[in-house]
Amino acid sequence: MKKKNNPIIIGAAQYTQHKNESHPLDPLSLMVKTSQDAIENTQNKNVVDFIDAVYVLNITSWSYEDAPGELSRQLNINPKKKVILPDPMGQSPQMLVNQAAKAISDGEHRCVLITGGEALYSIKKTFKDKPPQYWPEYKDANYKREFKILEFDMKYGLYWASLSYAILETALRASSGHTVEEHRKYMGKLFERFSKVASKSPFSWTQEFYNAEEITTPTPENRRITYPYTKRMCANNLVDQAGSILIASEEVAEILGINNKNWVYIMGGADFRNVNEIYRRPRLDESPAIREGSHLALEQAGLTLNDIDKFDLYSCFPSIVEITMNEIGINKDDTRDLTITGGLPYYGAPLSGYSLLAIINTFDLIRADPSLKVMVVANGGFNTKQSIGIYGSKPPNIPWGTRNDLEIQNSILEKELPEPVEKANGRLTVNGYSIFYDRLGEPKRGVIIGTLEDGNRTIALIKGEPESFSNLETEELVGRTVLVRYDPKEDRNIVVSLD
C-alpha cells in the first residue's frame, strides 16, 4: 500500500441542541449542520469535490425515506456510495470509521463523510410527540431493520438494556470479591469520574456534577431503575445531539492543502463480537471481543497500553466500563482519563451516535496536542459487539486492510453454550441477577440467569411482594443455589425457593 493512502481525519464537528432552543431542528437537519461545520473545519470547502462516500448512523427518533440521499442533496455532493445502518448499535461509529479507513487504504474511496444525529428530547419533551410542520414529513425508510429479539428473551425482559447490563453487574461484583456495599461505592466513584468530565463540556447534555453518593443513592430525582442501578447510572438517550467527521487519504489532504499538523491518524482498530445471547456465554463478566480487539488495535498502531494517554470507554452502564477495563488491562487505580466526553448518562446518548461524539472530541484533543494518543472503545447490544479505534498524529505501524481477523472471531463464537432450558425444574446456581422497579422505586420482580445441575443455563423469575426483595438488595445472591419450577400458565420458569 502506498504511504499516501493512510487514512486521516481532516475535519469534524458536533452540535448539542439544548433544551431551551427556540427552533429545534429535526435529526437530519442536525446532521446537515454538523456536516457543513465539519467541511468548514477542514478550512477548504473544496473538500466537497472529494467526498465519494456517505455513511449515516441509524436514526431512531425520526424517519426519512432516504436520509443519505437527502443529506447529500442538501450538502450538494454526489457520492458514489451512500449507506445508512439498519439498526441502532453503539459500536456503529467506530465500526464505520474502521470500514472507512480500510476503504481509503485500499483506494476504494478518497474521502468519507460519517454522520449521525437524534432529536428525541425535542420529540418527546418539547413537542410531546407532535413535531412542528417545519419538520420534514415522517416517511418509512427504504430499508428493513435487522435487529431481532428472541421470544425466550422477551419472556424475561432481557431486551431491556438496563436489565441485561445489571445482571452482568452482579456477576462482576461477585467475581471481584466486593461486598454489596463495597461495589456500590466502587460504581459511584467510577461514574463520578465520568460526571466530572461531562460537567466541564459545553456539548454535554448534563453539565451538573454528581458525586458518588448522588449517583448511587436512590431519591425521587434519581429513582431505582434495575438493581443495582439508579437513573444516574443509566444512559440518557433523551437528548438532541449530532456529529460528523470527514476521513480522507493523505494524498487528498495534500491536494487540498490541509496542514499536516492538523491531520489525525486512525492508527489502529478492530471489530469483534461476542456470543449474542448473554446466557450462552461461558462467563457473564467477560468480553473476549474487547480483549482480542484491543490487543490487535494496539499492535497495528505500534503501541503498548502504557502509550495510551486517554481513553473513551463506552459507558451506557457501569458494568461495561468495568468489563472493558478488565479486558484491556486498565487498573482501577489508573489515573488516566477513562472518558473524554463524560459518558452516556451525563454527556448524552444519541442512541447509536455516542461514540461518534467521542471520536470528534478525540480529534479536537489531538489537534490541540499532537503528542496525545487516544483509545476509543465503542460497544453495541448487551456487551455484544465492540469496535476499537486508536488515534494519534502518526500513521499506523501495520497498514489498514492487511489483517484477517476471521480465525480469532470464530474462536470467540465457537465457545457458545447450548440453547437454554426453556422449561426448567430443579436446582439452579445463580450466575447473575437483577430486580425490576416501578417508577416509584418499588420492586416488581427479579430475574436470574443461572446454571442447572446438568450444566445447562436457564432464566427464572423471582416473584413476591415488594418487602420480600429487601434481602436481595443487601445480600449477595450470585453463587447461591435456588429451586426453580416451570409454570405452564405463565410459560416461564419461576423461583419457588431462595433457600
Query: Can you give the pLDDT of all 499 residues of the chain as single tens digits?
Result: 445 899 999 999 999 999 988 899 999 999 999 999 999 999 999 999 999 999 999 999 999 999 999 999 999 999 999 999 999 999 999 999 999 999 999 999 999 999 999 999 999 999 999 999 999 999 999 877 766 789 999 999 999 999 999 999 999 999 999 999 999 999 999 999 999 999 999 999 999 999 999 999 999 999 999 999 999 999 999 999 999 999 999 999 999 999 999 999 999 999 999 999 999 999 999 999 999 999 999 999 999 999 999 999 999 999 999 999 999 999 999 999 999 999 999 999 999 999 999 999 999 999 999 999 999 999 999 999 999 999 999 999 999 989 999 999 999 999 999 999 999 999 999 999 999 999 999 999 999 999 999 999 999 999 998 888 988 999 999 999 999 999 999 999 999 988 7
Quick check: 141 and 63 in contact, CB under 8 A?
A: yes
Burial of 260 from C-beta contacts in 10 A (0-12 / 13-18 / 19+): exposed
Query: What is d(CA 106, CA 476) in angstroms, rounded to the nearest whole number?
Result: 52
Show the domains of the chain with their CATH numbers. Answer: 3-145+237-413 (3.40.47.10), 426-497 (2.40.50.840)
DSSP assignment of 38-69 equals HHHHTT-GGGGGTEEEEEE----SS--TTHHH
State how far the Cα of 268 lies from the Cα of 303, in Å rounded to an integer. 9
- Grid cell, residue 155, equals 419472556
Residue 368, phi then psi, degrees to nearest 5: -75, -30
d(CA 231, CA 215): 8
Q: How far is CA 112 from the centre of its chain?
A: 22
Report residue 331 CA to chain centroid gap.
21
DSSP string computed for 169-235: HHHHHHHHT--HHHHHHHHHHHHHHHHHHHTT-TT-S------HHHHHS-BTTB-EEETTEEGGGS-
Provide the whole-model pTM. Answer: 0.97
